[in-house]
Structure 1
Amino acid sequence: MASLLSNTKNLWRKSVKPKDSSHSHPHMQASTQTDSSASPSDPITIAVIGCGQRGKAYTKYALSSPDRCKVVAIAEPRPKTQKHFADLHKVDQTLVFTTWRDLHAASAETISTVGRRLADAVIIAVQDQQHLTVALAFAEQGYHILCEKPMATRLEDCIKMEMAVKKAGIIFGMGHVLRYSPYNKDITDIVRSGALGELINVVHVEPVGYYHFAHSYVRGNWSTEKDSSFSLMTKSCHDIDILCHWFSPLKPARVSSFGSLQHFRKSGKPTAAGNATRCLDCPVEKDCPYSAKKLYLDPVSHGNTGWPVETIVDGLPDIENVTDALKNGPYGKCVYESDNDVCDHQVVNMEFSNGTTASFTMVAYSSVICERQTRMHFSHGEIVGNMHTFTVTDFRKHTSKVHRPNSEGGGHGGGDTGLIRAFVEAVRTGRQEELGTSVEEVLNSHLTVFAAETSRKEGRVIDCGAFETEAREKVSTELSSREQ
């Protein structure tokens, strides 16, 4: 480790020049001295922690706009994934780490001996239950943070993250990508303009997609609450966030929710499947819409190696490694024999502080994949959209106009690109406002999601104000007991 850190410091002196962070919280200044060789026009430097799907999605911007940002360090445990990512971004091997703790240790060494961090910012794209630990560690070192959704898997931990971000005085971005797509930004502009009067009600549907849900929430990383979190949080927290965003500055006052795991359980298994527990051994595989062979193996045999098959192996998918994954890993298991326990459908009802309302539905069983459907009802008009186009009707003018925003390409209708672009600009200028949100607002939408899940489990309407007060008191008590 000592040799590695020495090499890291030498490379840092040569090529990694984080920008001046003089806008940071005063207590961080000792470790953020200005590098006289750095220029305001230099690209923002980024360390990526977790080089999977989300890490790759956010850093496409570094490849398309190298004058704006540059990946200079990574932490990724999977050897092939690590090498591919490092090669793609031309990351020097001395700044390639297997774990985030190794990267953090190297950063601590350069801060103590050189007085600067390894990069301007970190992207946290590890598994959900690690978000808090990683964010706290790098916030303490003064890194600006872009954290993939959700903040954390416990409300109390979300509050701790908020506290750490505010204490460090850093720029903080959250993977609520829906806010940043051209489609939703155009809708938000209309809402804010008041052109249609008061926003009174929104009906919003997230059709997850039958095979997407089977991949991610039955067989995949988000299939069990104990290993990740409940599906309303892991899949739809950015839907609740965009609803809160549209009604802002109002906050949800009361929330109720219903839902369950209805189909993806053993009782749903076809009788003809018998004792088969894996798709490759199942006599009715050809007739099953959730066949792992159809979802992963058949596409690879036709040369299709993108999502979702690229997520189930380390390195590039081929017939051999995908077959091995289906024979031995979770992605080859029968969806009715898997260990999943998260809801496959859920509804959420929200009442805001002035009596306006919103309803949200998340459902697995759809042919479209994540193409949200939204109806927005105003006092003088309505907006009806499907993530590609939306129609604005003005009751006063008796007119309707179809809008077709340019998605820019990329994930979430351009939201992935929009978020990382805004984050880089926020870091460059030292202005949290460039992200159009704050850590307090991020926490508020998470709190609403936790309130909804509490309602579903306990069968009661949740008073959001009281719910937040109780959670903050728990955190205060916990922190006080640690100090004693």
Structure 2
Amino acid sequence: MPLQFKMETLCHKLPKYLDRQLQGAMGDATGIDDSGPVTIAVIGCGQRGQAYAAYALSNPSKCKIVAMAEPRPNTCALFAQMYSIDGTLVFRDWAGLHAASAETIKTIGHRLADAVVVAVQDNMHLQVVEAFAEQGYHILCEKPMATSLEDIMKMEAAVKRAGIIFGMGHVLRYSPYSKAITEIVRSGTLGELINAVHVEPIGYFHFAHSYVRGNWAQEEESSFSLMTKSCHDIDILCNWFSPATPIRTSSFGSLKHFRKDVKPSAAADAQRCLKCPCERTCPYSAKKIYLDPVTDGEKGWPASTIVDGIPDIENIHEALEKGPYGRCVYESANDVCDNQVVNIEFSNGSTASFTMVAFTSLICERQTRLHFTYGEIVGDMSTFTVTDFRAGTSTLHTPPLEGGGHGGGDLGLIKTFVKAVKAGKQDMVGTNIDEVVKSHLTVFAAESSRKEGRVVDCIEYEKDVRRKVGLTAGRSN
């Protein structure tokens, strides 16, 4: 629909929309009305946007999805239907939603919603966050915050300038499992946290899907894999050691396996899995990962992410014949690390090590060991054992599962964000823009260490980044 026509239609129907659906719950320029649910516009309705939006279905009195922007027609239609979104508030891109919001703010002094969920591609985060922060929307932004140091500094400035509530998709903080561990760390019952050993097993076919064939395969198009996959692992480590902060980091890693020079000779010159002579014995076979599960009736991830709408045998087969997800993993245009280790020293002398690795049977089920002066915690994202050296006891903890991805972290984040928006309190999010920026800078510093072969001073690194970005901004003014 042409934007001008849609704007006229929106302005004509808006009073009815307000009366019928919001009845005063839509946020104005100053705050949130207590009479209804927090209203949200979802920008990017793929896997992550859907993960956060799902909270509204089970908690309609607390949260309501009232607007959306999604370019894929089938995905857009299915999402709009699922959340009963008024047709005038369904947009094919974020710019259309933003323009409609500007018009309603101008004409009647209302935004279209209280908050927005930003779940577009990583390299678009800055422009979307800047635009909607300026209009006064509270924002939940999927991780990573941004894909360059300059963009992170700009987003930090935009959020602070707007004075909005800001949430980051660091979902690991918000699962019942992580919150239970954090409570023990903060309680001091095991003494001081001295060391952490944390491993993220990405999963062999998950890595092939997302970081060899998928949207995060090339650093230039997105960012390096430590950032796009594991920035929330570095974040939760920083959170556990807080108020101590990272002072030094070192890192090693490489793209070790998913390269043309290690392609099995039996694959010969095959470019696609559907025509490969050794497809049946290849663990990264696209047929095994996408087509076989759909043939057996499985419609979920990862097949659901490679087509527009509901996956079936025909559209998956076509995607594997024509698109990147059917290419041989040894012939793909990927360049990000498939294994990496990071070491961090904190300002109180404590240390942490983190490993990100593709070649695992487990998919994102982190293993963590936390070592304290008087005990230790050993966990696997489902259960954890607390050993108290002084009492001579070991206790198994099994936090309740709340559903949703990341052990309930997705649900925990959106629920926490909605509560914070309703109350108008940033501290209810459990973090703030300063902490978010610092953990992202630690990730960038670690990647600099890997590329440059040196130990990076995190404090000097941040000072240098801010100086350089400040000079760049000054030259552009």
Equivalent position amino acid for 1:58 in 2: Y
For structure 1, the 5+ residue unaligned runs are 22-30
Which whole-Å CA distance do the structure 2 matches of 1:33 and 1:341 have between them?
46
User: Within 2, Cα distance between the matches of 1:199 and 1:10?
Assistant: 60
AA partner of residue 54 (structure 1): R
User: Within 1, Cα distance between the matches of 2:221 and 2:285?
Assistant: 24
Shift of 1:143: 0.5
Q: Of 266, 290, 294, which residue of structure 2 is paired with 1:296? A: 290
Distance 1:154 1:419 in 2: 24
Q: Say which SS state the counterpart of residue 342 (structure 2) adopts.
A: strand
Whole-angstrom CA distance in 1 between matches of 2:375 and 2:63: 41
Deviations 1:426-466 (A, max 9, x none): 10000011110001000010000000000000000111111
- What is the alpha-carbon root mean square deviation over aligned residues? 1.2
- Report the 3-state secondary structure (helix = DSSP H, G, I; strand = E; otherwise coil) of the residue aligned with 2:439: helix
- Tell which deviates more after alignment, 181-190 or 113-122: 113-122
Cα offsets for 1:254-304 (capped at 9, x unmatched): 010000000001012110110001000000000000000000000011000
Determine the C-alpha separation between the residues in 1 that align with 2:25 and 2:192.
Answer: 43
State the distance in 1 between where 2:240 and 2:423 align.
26
CA drift at 1:481:
1.6
* C-alpha contact 2:341 2:353 (8 A) present in aligned 1: yes
1:388 maps to amino acid: S
Partner residue in 1 for 2:379: 385
**CA drift at 1:12:** 3.3
1:267-306 equivalent positions in 2, closer than 5 A: 267-306=261-300
CA–CA distance in structure 1, aligned partners of residues 119 and 33 of structure 2: 28
Q: Does 1:166 align with 2:160?
A: yes
Give the counterpart letter for 1:72 in structure 2.
V
Report whether the alignment pairs 1:332 with 2:326: yes
Q: 1:93 to 1:20 in 2, by over 3 A?
A: closer
Structure 2 counterpart of 1:252, one-letter code = P
Which residue identity does 2:115 align to in structure 1?
Answer: A
Cα separation, 2, equivalents of 1:203 and 1:41:
46
Contact 1:33 1:116 (8 Å CA) reproduced: no
What is residue 56 of structure 2 aligned with on the other side?
Answer: 62
Q: Which residue of 2 aligns with 1:232?
A: 226
Mapped partners of 1:197, 1:155: distance in 2: 36
Corresponding position of 1:394 = 388
| Matched position secondary structure for 1:152 | coil
Are the equivalent residues in 2 in contact too, given 1:202–1:359 (CA < 8 A)? yes
In 2, the alpha carbon distance for the partners of 1:407 and 1:473 equals 45
3-state SS of paired residue (2:180): helix
Q: Residues of 2 paired with 1:39 and 1:86: CA distance?
A: 24
Alignment correspondent of 1:7: 9
Matched, 1:479 2:461: no
Alignment partner for residue 468 of structure 1, among 459, 462, 473?
462
Match of 1:27 in 2: none
Query: SS of the counterpart of 2:143?
Result: coil
Cα deviation, residue 8, structure 1: 1.7
User: Structure 2: how far apart are the matches of 1:11 and 1:374?
Assistant: 53
Aligned to 2:150: 156
Match among 207, 211, 223 for residue 205 of structure 2: 211
1:150 partner SS: coil
Question: How far apart are 1:19 and its partner, in Å?
Answer: 4.8
CA contact (8 A) 1:33 1:115 kept: no
2:362 match:
368
The 8 Å contact of residues 176 and 238 in structure 1, kept in 2 or not, is answered as: yes
Question: Do structure 1's residue 307 and structure 2's residue 309 form an aligned pair?
Answer: no
**Can you list the C-alpha shifts for 1:16-69, whole angstroms capped at 9, x where unaligned?**
447576xxxxxxxxx6157xxx85140000001000000000010000100011
Structure 2 residues not aligned, in runs of 5+: none
Q: Which residue number corresponds to residue 351 of structure 2?
A: 357
**Out of 103, 106, 124, which is 1:109 matched to?**
103
Cα distance between partner residues in 2 of 1:479 and 1:13: 42
**Partner of residue 29, structure 2:** 32
- Quote the Cα distance in structure 2 between the aligned partners of 1:435 and 1:180: 10
Rounded to whole Å, the distance in 1 between the matches of 2:8 and 2:58 is: 32
Quick one: distance in 1 between partners of 2:450 and 2:16?
Answer: 55
After TM superposition, what 4+ stretches of structure 1 lie above 4 angstroms from structure 2?
16-21
Q: What is the TM-score of this pair, normalised by structure 2?
A: 0.97
Give the direction of change, closer, same or farther, for the CA distance of 1:231–1:147 in structure 2 (3 Å limit). Answer: same
Matches within 5 A, 1:114-129: 114-129=108-123
Deviates further, 308-317 or 12-21:
12-21
Amino acid across the alignment from 2:475: S
Once the two structures are superposed, what CA deviation does each residue of 1:339-393 show, in whole Å capped at 9, x if it has no partner? Answer: 0000000000000001100000000000010000000000000000000000000
Cα separation, 2, equivalents of 1:392 and 1:33: 46
Post-superposition Cα deviations, 1:108-144, rounded to whole Å, max 9, x if no partner, equal: 1111111111100000000000000100010011100
For 1:26, the equivalent position in structure 2 comes to: none
Counterparts of 1:198 and 1:46, CA distance in 2: 41
How far residue 2 of structure 1 moved from its aligned partner, in angstroms, is: 2.9
Q: Which AA in structure 1 matches 2:207?
A: F
1:93 matched to 2:95? The reply is: no
Task: Report the residue type matching 2:469 in the other structure.
Answer: V
Alignment check: 8 A CA contact 2:255 2:337 kept: yes
Contact 2:173 2:236 in 1 (8 A): yes
Tell whether the 8 Å contact from 1:255 to 1:351 is kept in structure 2 after alignment: yes
Decide whether aligned partners of structure 1 residues 391 and 33 sit closer, same or farther in structure 2, where only a CA change above 3 A counts. closer
Q: Tell me whether 1:414 sits opposite 2:408 in the alignment.
A: yes
In 2, are the aligned partners of 1:410 and 1:417 still within 8 Å (CA)? yes
Q: Distance in 2 between matches of 1:361 and 1:59?
A: 31
CA distance in 1: counterparts of 2:247 and 2:89, whole angstroms: 47
Partner-residue secondary structure (3-state), 1:178: helix
> How much has 1:214 moved relative to structure 2?
0.4
Instruction: Check 1:162–1:120 CA distance in 2 against 1; reply closer, same or farther (3 A cut).
Output: same
3-state SS in 2 of match to 1:123:
strand
C-alpha contact 1:12 1:118 (8 A) present in aligned 2: no
CA distance in 2, matches of 1:81, 1:283: 34
Counterpart pick for 1:245 among 239, 248, 254: 239
Alignment of 1:312-323 (within 5 A): 312-323=306-317
| Counterpart amino acid of residue 182 in structure 1 | P
Cα distance in 2 for partners of 1:157, 1:397 equals: 49
CA contact (8 A) 2:26 2:110 kept: no
